[in-house]
Chains A and B, each alone.
Chain A
């Protein structure tokens, strides 16, 4: 089924505006996606009608808020194919989800001399928490190298795996280059040496089918705001047996069973990991975002975005001075590039002058940029509401900018 892009665009109020005298073309979707009206309405409705603290009130509003909050948990469970909703923990974002695993699973099950494997493609949020853990407990961080095209070197990954490997924490799809990693194979290989696997799904969950049971990953992390949902909300999926074995992350309300000054016992999962009042409005408004994706169809979304990516590549591949960065065979809809003799920042500003929003810089992947020998890139990332016409306007603008210094 083809995407009805005009009808989808009508659901996103923010897209209908001019920036610097031009219609906005929003190609910064890997940073955050825009929000459909049903998400905005859900936030408004929550505060106007149902605002109340959850899981504790003895009144109707609290019941309504609690029910809607837990309905989102069930939607997330279905969205990623988890066995039960207790395996879904709400956090502030992917970064917090990874830090939670590092601080709880990491500090309990990873010891001095144990090894953690990440890849060259990782976002800083899947590097720094592990470095902090290694500094603390003497574990060792190993890094899977990549090819110049931006693909992991499988043989090197296999060589890194050994009985000391306790965790493989790897990105499903690269935010900077778009590379989709062969995660099913990686998970199976990691499990074969007894290691657990954390999948950073920040970029993949909005574009690809991610089924945690089919993949058999031990943890999955992602952020609502990259899935057309609100900011400040993330998800940590973990297998029940792991979550139960892990100590709590933050201490406080909600996460306890009983508190005395002598000793506190902890609540069951997922509440053990959700201390304090959560982002209730954001959680409730995440459900219509997931419904939007599900009703549009992941396969349709992926096909549409992939078509836009192919079109951008086709229009720009022979333009003098345009250097694509990241040419893996399997990619999500991320077009990263540089222009010969120009800094990405200048390119981004000139695109902005035309109303085109892209991201420029190192994309929180400094080690990856260092490996590629560049300071950064210009990144156009596509979403379901983008159009072929927008790609044409973008390609014309890039062509003009490239001609400034590439006669």
Chain B
């Protein structure tokens, strides 16, 4: 099985094809959101919302046989695309692998502003409400 680092390198290579064009990068991320598995409507409630974001993000993490299974959704296409990438990197990993992961692909694909908060969020440190949240809802 590929490591977290391998998958991140794969993603970075895919984005390199786009060059440094910001618009193409964003369009591609928006498209990727379409790959997310449909989010169960039962989970679309307040307790699964990441608070404080301008965009709404719902996140459910479940542990099955020692591996974490993520399901998430967002009402903005860019955030949804970023979530799909995070899930691609972190899904079906053990909590230990997730906590120890050096998540660096987001700045490497030019979406720097989400880096720190995103890592904290999906890595399970719930003190960060700024998850996937370049723009706070203030």
User: Could you tell me which A residues sit within 8 Å of B by CB distance?
Assistant: 20-21, 342-343, 345-346, 348-350, 352-354, 360-362, 364, 375-376
> Does B118 count as interface, using CB distance less than 8 angstroms?
no
> Does B75 count as interface, using CB distance less than 8 angstroms?
yes
Contact of B23 among A342, A346, A353, A375 (CB under 8 A): A353
Shortest CB distance B108–A (Å): 17
- A349 touching B138 by the CB < 8 A rule? no
The docked-state distance in angstroms from the alpha carbon of A360 to that of B54 is 9
The docked-state distance in angstroms from the alpha carbon of A343 to that of B74 is 10
Q: Among the listed stretches B43-51, B60-68, B76-84, B91-99, which one makes contact with chain A, having 4 or more residues with CB under 8 Å of it?
A: B76-84
Which of chain B's residues 1-33 have a Cβ closer than 8 Å to chain A? 20-23, 25-26, 30
**A347 nearest CB neighbor, chain B only:** B76
- A345 touching B22 by the CB < 8 A rule? no
Contact of A20 among B22, B55, B138 (CB under 8 A): B22
- B135 touching A360 by the CB < 8 A rule? yes
The docked-state distance in angstroms from the alpha carbon of A20 to that of B77 is 20
Given known A-B contacts A20-B22, A350-B26, A376-B54, A362 and B137 have beta carbons under 8 A apart: yes
Additional A-B contacts beyond A345-B135, A354-B23, A361-B135 (19; CB < 8 A)? A20-B23, A21-B21, A21-B22, A343-B75, A343-B77, A345-B76, A348-B135, A349-B26, A349-B78, A350-B23, A350-B26, A352-B22, A353-B23, A353-B25, A353-B26, A361-B137, A362-B137, A375-B75, A376-B54
The docked-state distance in angstroms from the alpha carbon of A364 to that of B23 is 28
Shortest CB distance B60–A (Å): 21
User: Could you tell me which B residues sit within 8 Å of A by CB distance?
Assistant: 20-23, 25-26, 30, 54-55, 75-79, 135, 137-138
Shortest CB distance A36–B (Å): 28
Shortest CB distance B39–A (Å): 16
The docked-state distance in angstroms from the alpha carbon of A346 to that of B137 is 14
Contact of A343 among B23, B25, B26, B55 (CB under 8 A): B55
- B135 touching A346 by the CB < 8 A rule? no
Which of A342, A349, A362, A364 has the most CB atoms of chain B within a 10 A radius of its CB? A349
Q: Which residues of A contact B55 (CB under 8 A)?
A: 343, 345
Q: Which residues of B contact A353 (CB under 8 A)?
A: 22-23, 25-26
- A364 touching B138 by the CB < 8 A rule? yes
The docked-state distance in angstroms from the alpha carbon of A354 to that of B23 is 7
Shortest CB distance B80–A (Å): 9
**A348 nearest CB neighbor, chain B only:** B135
Q: Which residues of B contact A360 (CB under 8 A)?
A: 54, 135
- B76 touching A346 by the CB < 8 A rule? yes
Which of B21, B26, B76, B135 has the most CB atoms of chain A within a 10 A radius of its CB? B76
Shortest CB distance B5–A (Å): 28
Shortest CB distance A135–B (Å): 21
Given known A-B contacts A360-B54, A360-B135, A376-B54, A346 and B30 have beta carbons under 8 A apart: yes
The docked-state distance in angstroms from the alpha carbon of A348 to that of B55 is 12
Given known A-B contacts A20-B22, A376-B54, A345 and B138 have beta carbons under 8 A apart: no
Shortest CB distance A261–B (Å): 42
The docked-state distance in angstroms from the alpha carbon of A21 to that of B22 is 8
Q: Which residues of B contact A348 (CB under 8 A)?
A: 135
Contact of B78 among A21, A346, A362, A376 (CB under 8 A): A346
The docked-state distance in angstroms from the alpha carbon of A342 to that of B21 is 22
